[in-house]
Amino acid sequence: MKRYLPLLALTLSARALLAQPLSIVPVVSGFDRPVEIVQDPLRPNVQFVLNQSGAVRVVQDGVLLPTPLITLPVLIGNERGLLGMAFAPDHATSGHIYFHFTTTGVFMQLARYTRLGDALTVDPVTRLNIFRTLRPFSNHNAGCIRFGPDGYLYLPTGDGGSSGDPGNRAQTPTQILGKMLRLDPTGDDFPTDPERNYRIPPSNPFRPVNNPPVPALEEIWAFGLRNPWKFAFDDPTKLGTGAMVLADVGQNTREEVDYEPAGSGARNYGWRRFEGTFVHNAGTALAYGPHTPPIHEYPRTLGQSVTGGGVYRGLQLGPEYFGRYFFADYIAGRAWSLGLSLDPVTGEATVMDVRDHTADFGGVGFANVSSFGVDGAGEMFLIDYAGTVNRIVRQETTWLTDARAVQGPYLGGQVRSLLLSDGKTFDVQALRLASTSPLRAGVDFDARTNRASRTLVGVSVTGKVSQALVVPVTLECRNWNTGLFESVATGNWGAALGTLSATGLDGTKFVDAGGNVQCRVSMAYNGILLASSLRLSVEAASVSVD
């Protein structure tokens, strides 16, 4: 039987970056009415851009490849076309990709295709129809689809179009339109129907066994939506909450942003009785209450078609923007972000502040923003419907990209290093078999810079040990010319906080061509000290490049 010594715990925090303005930089252009960008889960350097006209274009290392992943047979015109794409959570093994698009017969079609490995093409013959809805009008098709943290597919249907929801479909329990749906496309509750190849999740709120507020179609997750063109989940794999944030395009008065804590189904967002918090049609009763109002709305004087983005969980923009929700207005060419204050008990969100980024991005009318998206690192794209994919960036800055607890050759896990700020703490632990030989214990942390000047590097790290001892600690940085780590500062840490820092380091040695900096702080320990639970606590780390 193996015996493990007590864990080495490391608590990490990072110093917030100074405020720097945001901007957008073009990444790639040449698209035909792009409406979505989706990260390839198998290739970090590949994204897929959906042309509304049906082609799924491939971007590799920022270059638009000539051959599309697939071209779908869509019905194009007005708000019709190819509108949504989502990779199955098990895509690495199943190869399944889902698309949402309009077809002949005025249907919105959800279909599954299968990719072989990480190929950059998909065979159209692999198509399997999953679900479809008949559309009475050409507009309000919504279209965006997402897999939630629960593994189920979420699909908003829009209210069917025209103006004012003339059929009151959004509040009619027997109508599929004007709703958010939740499906399980890995099963089949309808084996005799070739157009319905999905299972209804057992926990869907309108299944009779779950005591729904009203009898309704069991595919429904939420009521009262007009045209939720874009929505997103706050990515829990990057320390997000798993909440759904949804932008619903308004009619005459308000554009709205709705917030739903993870797993909070059966909400009624109010359309067509309500448009935002305003009563739009006083003669319409809610199918059930209460009305869930938006967390944010803006008047039509500021814009006329909200484009939802997502909660930022990347690193490059810095801690100031981590956890902020980005969105835009397609008609007005404006963009904003808003801060979210979360109730620790209910998970509900309230808006702390709204920042207008329109001037940062080029002024009113800078783009017809049709979509946002994120890459594998959580960095955010912004799509101009005219044909360009842009990236939201913070210029002339340096940011931490990763931090790792290290014990000998074992990594104890990774954390999103910029979260190590604002009083947040994270315990990162490593296991090691009993040993009497000296082992390195410490924290490796990486940074990146986009500053034009990279002459000088400064590094600082603050921490302590858990016992009233004097323990030697060393701060090292990688010399990219030799590939080896060099000591840049040494000292002794005890139970009180101490700081190791180095300034004026040669940027030609310690910053590589891609702007990367790698550093580590270490202490030496032996099996006896580890058995007595000696812990190294790193509470702040920062890297500057000038």
Q: What is the pTM of this model?
A: 0.88
CA distances from 104 to 6, 143, 313 (A): 64, 16, 39
Cα 144 from Cα 158, distance rounded (Å): 10
What's the longest Cα–Cα distance across the chain?
A: 79
Per-residue exposure over 201-219, b if at least 16 CB sit within 10 Å of its own CB, e if not: beebbbbeeeebbeebebb
CATH of residue 446: 2.60.120
Residue 208 covered by a domain: no
Residue 408 covered by a domain: yes
Q: How confident is the model at residue 170 (pLDDT cuts 50, 70, 90)?
A: very high
Read off the pLDDT of residues 126-152 as tens digits, 9 standing for 90 and up. 999 999 999 999 999 998 999 999 999
Quick one: pLDDT at residue 20? 63
| Residue among 342, 160, 175, 320 at smallest CA distance from 245 | 342
**By the 8 A CB rule, do 17 and 317 touch?**
no
Residue 367 covered by a domain: no
What's the domain range around 427?
8-13+397-545
* pLDDT at residue 440 tops 70: no
Residue 92 covered by a domain: no
Residue 461 covered by a domain: yes
Mean pLDDT value across residues 223-251: 96
* pLDDT at residue 167 tops 90: yes
Cα 37 from Cα 371, distance rounded (Å): 8
Residue 320 covered by a domain: no
* pLDDT at residue 518 tops 90: yes
Read off the pLDDT of residues 303-341 as tens digits, 9 standing for 90 and up. 999 999 999 998 888 878 989 999 999 999 999 999 999
Residue 508 covered by a domain: yes
Quick one: pLDDT at residue 534? 65
Residue 228 covered by a domain: no
61: left (phi over 0), alpha (psi -120 to 50) or beta: left
Kindly report which listed range (40-54, 415-429, 448-462, 481-495) carries the lowest average pLDDT score: 415-429
On average, the pLDDT of the chain sits at 88
Cα 448 from Cα 379, distance rounded (Å): 14
Kindly report which listed range (180-189, 407-416, 524-533) carries the lowest average pLDDT score: 407-416
Q: How many domains does the chain have?
A: 1
Residue length, the chain? 546
Tokens of 135: 């559309």
| Residue among 265, 228, 261 at smallest CA distance from 244 | 261
